Chain A
């Protein structure tokens, strides 16, 4: 065989993704048009709301932060060949653990209190991931079922906790506020953007390093791509899958904690509009790569933050940004469509 360098397979193209995003906006524009709105006005409001000012940026990144955590969590298990769709549950349990640690530990200096609360959030998330991991590895229970059920348990359990044992006096189902020493510093006041965002970026780097520069990450990727080969080469598949689940849960848990300590200051019932589920989409749109997840989470954050401005300014319902978000997911997960129909590439 001869090789021509022009067509080296190592070239990593994000062209289909960019086209998918543009196409999603285009279809969104058509929908606006047919509903009697001006796409130009609506989109300019959306972009202004997302990137138009310091505050807009702050909003976008605030929205991006929790889904970056959950995307990284999903990614880690996916790389090990596990479809962990229970990130939401791990996120919620982590949030609750961090909230309680934030409330009930006292007298600690701030950095220590923050670190301890986040760590306990992570540990709780990891524990929530460990259960389906053990069920899968030792009993063969499929993780799609177990993680989804664990998510429901987490959702109702945390809801019960803020409605009964840990409810703060008042009408709202929420806990007491966490101690001042447990609050994450805001990094772009007056927006809600907190240190949690920096932590999520740092974790992206860490996950990338782990997957591509450590032997454990290498083994996890090998197990995910071809367990038969991994087994034949003496890699302990079960242990690696458990590790992936633990790390995934840990990251999701810290994400939950970060959201509590950084944005809400307490656990409010229903504070997550489904960050765990969004993370799955972000992870896939980000091509299952930590760097891609960063970009995709900012895209999703922009649609959320910008969408709110758009609704305020133009009366276009917020649903439109959800529609665009959904279109991005659909189109990105249909690479064949983009490649064949739009780029007109037959085979490869």
Chain B
């Protein structure tokens, strides 16, 4: 029987990068097929090629045994291929049903036939076993529900093969469970699913077979019963991977950072922090847990000086830095891995070396004389950082936008740890990173801790927070709900994250 989807020798390169190197992929009808690989392994490129976003340099795509040319997503959907992207593509002011039918509307004269549309969509919801309020405004929904709209969009267009590009990155744990249930329902309906992820847990939860990519090549395809986490991890990374982290030494007594009665202004689009008090000690990793959007970004930006408090004081090693500029804070050893890499971390049209020196460019030895950049030192500095932080880049002069997400994050890390770091504010430091990069980053954090630095670890990944932190604070709507030890029960974290007070939780 011919496979529903097959690629033979599919190859795609970009300037400086061979993203897909002769990939042979076979997808059976009605299966859930996991596509596993690190950032930059070529998963997204492979799927985007199948979806018609890129044209392959070489190789063939076969659908049910017949060779096809897919030159646009429009063609792809005609062949029954639909894709749900990592970043959602919805019109936020539209109602849910409007978003679903956008581009393929059921019309009545010049206007939309709402009744007919809703009837049709209700059937679709039942078939896919999905729950979403069709009349709700899109922007008012949680990300998980918004993602369901994307799924409905492609089902509505008659997709038989559904590609999900790292769909779980933007979801809370509960939403991930729901998504996995949706996968099962769709499978029952005879749909074929390709599920891109680099999280082993999710792959094991739902996939029938899994294909592993590494550095643009296919390593192999396995039925899930024959796969073990260690084996898959090794296939992905090409070596053994540590799965647990040893806790470092005990934190010291000396206080590095002290926040006293901090409140930030109420502004549109921002969470106002209220009455924030805590201390951070030397050699301590202080975890900040919470559902995203509860003031984590504001807390990080407050500490590094990007926003100023309305009330309260910030002390760094005893010095009042409440109104010190970002530049002065950097000089004193406060480093920042920002939550949003593209907005705060890297300049994608700058080269690797340029990105590595942002913020240092006006200090000797980066500058020689008064104004002139010391190019020979810069290049040497950059080469050394590329080596030290294992940045996979073909050279200093490559634009950072041509690197994979994990390597971009290493560039940020390399730069932030280049100064004389005393305190590191790490916001979602491993978001979107693959296993190797995540492991690398977590080890770096522990290394810093063991060198008596202070670390504020803000993460939406509770497992990450619990495995690395010495203490954990939970943020909810700009307030600290309480402090827990990382060994506390998961449900206690869950309750605090949901807005219950610590007294209720411990009672």
Contact = CB atoms under 8 A, between A and B. Distances in A.
A230 interface: yes
A346 B55 contact: yes
A11 B304 CA distance: 38
B81 to A, nearest CB: 18
B18 A3 contact: yes
Contacts of B340: 228
Given A8-B16, A9-B399, A231 B306 contact: yes
Contacts of B18: 1-4
A214 B372 contact: yes
B231 interface: no
Best-buried of B21, B398, B404 by chain A (most CB within 10 Å): B398
A35 interface: no
A138 to B, nearest CB: 17
Best-buried of B54, B327, B344 by chain A (most CB within 10 Å): B344
B222 interface: no
B347 A225 contact: yes
B394 A3 contact: yes
A347 B55 contact: yes
A36 to B, nearest CB: 43
B478 interface: no
Interface stretch (A63-71, A107-115, A216-224, A329-337): A216-224
Interface residues of B, number: 53
Contacts of B397: 10
Main secondary structure of the interface of B (DSSP, over half): loop
B250 interface: no
Interface residues of A, number: 32
Interface string A50-92: 0000000000000000000000000000000000000000000
Contacts of A230: 358
B325 interface: yes
Contacts of B328: 234
A234 B358 CA distance: 9
Contacts of B14: 7, 348
A8 B40 CA distance: 17
A234 B330 contact: yes
B218 interface: no
B167 to A, nearest CB: 23
Interface of B: 13-19, 21, 40, 42, 53-55, 215-216, 304, 306, 325-330, 336, 338, 340, 343-350, 354, 357-359, 361-362, 366-367, 371-373, 375, 392, 394, 397-399, 402, 404
Given A7-B16, A215-B366, A231-B306, 10 more contacts: A3-B394, A4-B18, A11-B15, A213-B372, A213-B375, A215-B367, A232-B304, A232-B338, A233-B359, A346-B54
25 contacts: A1-B40, A2-B18, A4-B17, A4-B18, A5-B394, A7-B14, A10-B397, A10-B398, A213-B372, A213-B373, A214-B371, A214-B373, A215-B372, A218-B373, A225-B347, A225-B350, A226-B348, A228-B343, A229-B344, A233-B359, A234-B325, A234-B327, A236-B325, A346-B55, A348-B15
